[in-house]
Amino acid sequence: MLIATLPPQSNRADWIEGIEFKDDDNGDLIDLTGSTITITVKDEDGCQVLNASTTDGSIVIVSTGLAEFTFPRSSMTNLRADAYEVGGTLERGGETMQFLIGTVPVVDGVVNR
């Protein structure tokens, strides 16, 4: 599991990020076929402000061990400049794994919404 502060994101642009899933034992990329990946972003009050999942198409499995999520500008503009909690899970083969817990700073992108 990764515990980290993610790179800052603008609230005036798409947030597109790749995720790599590797086997902890041998470093091989994991076959994600049939998996459900979810990423949730919450504000300081614990309210969900963004959610992406393979079930709604906002997370796409690109290839073996690689996925990409997108939060479009239209969703990002609803966020004020602040630090947000972010978490991610991978459901695979009847098990759920927490692969990410962290924070992401969102900065004011200055240009008009």
The average pLDDT across 19-29 equals: 92
pLDDT in the model for residue 58: 95
**Predicted TM-score (pTM) of this structure:** 0.91
Rounded CA separation 21/97 (Å): 11
Sorted by sequence, the CB contacts under 8 Å of residue 72 that are 6+ apart come out as 14
pLDDT in tens, 42-73: 999 999 999 999 999 999 999 999 999 999 99
Homologous superfamily (CATH) for 2-106: Immunoglobulins (2.60.40.10)
Taking Cα atoms as reference points, which of 71, 80, 74 lies closest to residue 45? 80
